[in-house]
Amino acid sequence: MAESHEKIILEIGFGNGENTSFLAAKNPNALIIASEVYLSGIGSLLNSIAQNSLNNIKIYDDDVRELILNLPKNIFDEVYIICPDPWPKARHHKRRLIKHDFLKILAKVLKKDGTVYISTDWENYAESIEEEIANTKEHFSFQQISNDGMFITRFQQRAINEGRSIHTFLLKVLKK
């Protein structure tokens, strides 16, 4: 798999797959692994793959954490997590994906100099993401970036239309 592609990109929770199709078209020599559990979204991406004759996307239709735990180390160049479910109620915060333990397993499957793009439109989740990344500083450096030039997904566009800010983090894995 790794040998025949210029790079390997993982998108987690692709929703309807608009960003996945964008990434696949922009990076024709890359392999895009796209993970989503929402069946209707998977159908939308399959439709886009057929309509745009995309041949560099593989879909994983289950919990991404299972996938990552079963992959070899050092395979992804880039990971995208756009608008992960915010679980806004305090009692549900423990269900949030972006946690120290998850970031640790993500670091293992990233190649040296690999990056993770995480974007959320929930102020409170953004604060928590920043804390979780800071708690994982042995594995990642990070900066907050603007979305200029990035593809804007349906969820991000809704936030913009409602006047909410989007908080985007770019993590770089630290490996020798």
Ligand X SMILES: C[S@@+](CC[C@H](N)C(=O)[O-])C[C@H]1O[C@@H](n2cnc3c(N)ncnc32)[C@H](O)[C@@H]1O
Find the binding residues for ligand X in span 63-82 (CB under 6 A). Answer: 63-65, 82
CB of 95 to ligand X, least distance (A): 9
Find the binding residues for ligand X in span 107-146 (CB under 6 A). Answer: none
163: left (phi over 0), alpha (psi -120 to 50) or beta: left
**Residue whose CB is nearest to ligand X in the complex, by number:** 13
Distance CA 96, CA 87 (A): 6
Q: Which of 97, 98, 109, 133 binds ligand X (CB under 6 A)?
A: 97
Q: Which of 9, 10, 14, 59 binds ligand X (CB under 6 A)?
A: 14
Distance CA 42, CA 16 (A): 7
Catalytic residues: 85
Neighbouring CB atoms inside 10 A of 39's CB total: 9
Q: Which residues contact 40 (CB under 8 A, 6 or more apart)?
A: 16
Q: Is residue 35 part of the contact set for ligand X (CB under 6 A)?
A: yes
CB of 164 to ligand X, least distance (A): 13
Q: Which of 8, 10, 15, 132 binds ligand X (CB under 6 A)?
A: 15
Q: Which is nearer to ligand X, 117 or 142 (CB)?
A: 117
Q: Which of 9, 24, 83, 103 binds ligand X (CB under 6 A)?
A: 83
Q: Which is nearer to ligand X, 137 or 164 (CB)?
A: 164
Burial (Cβ within 10 Å: 0-12, 13-18, ≥19) of residue 53: exposed
Distance CA 171, CA 176 (A): 16
Distance CA 119, CA 102 (A): 16
Q: Which is nearer to ligand X, 80 or 140 (CB)?
A: 80
Q: Is residue 36 part of the contact set for ligand X (CB under 6 A)?
A: yes
Q: Which residues contact 101 (CB under 8 A, 6 or more apart)?
A: none
Residues that bind ligand X (CB under 6 A): 12-15, 35-38, 41, 63-65, 82-85, 97, 153-156
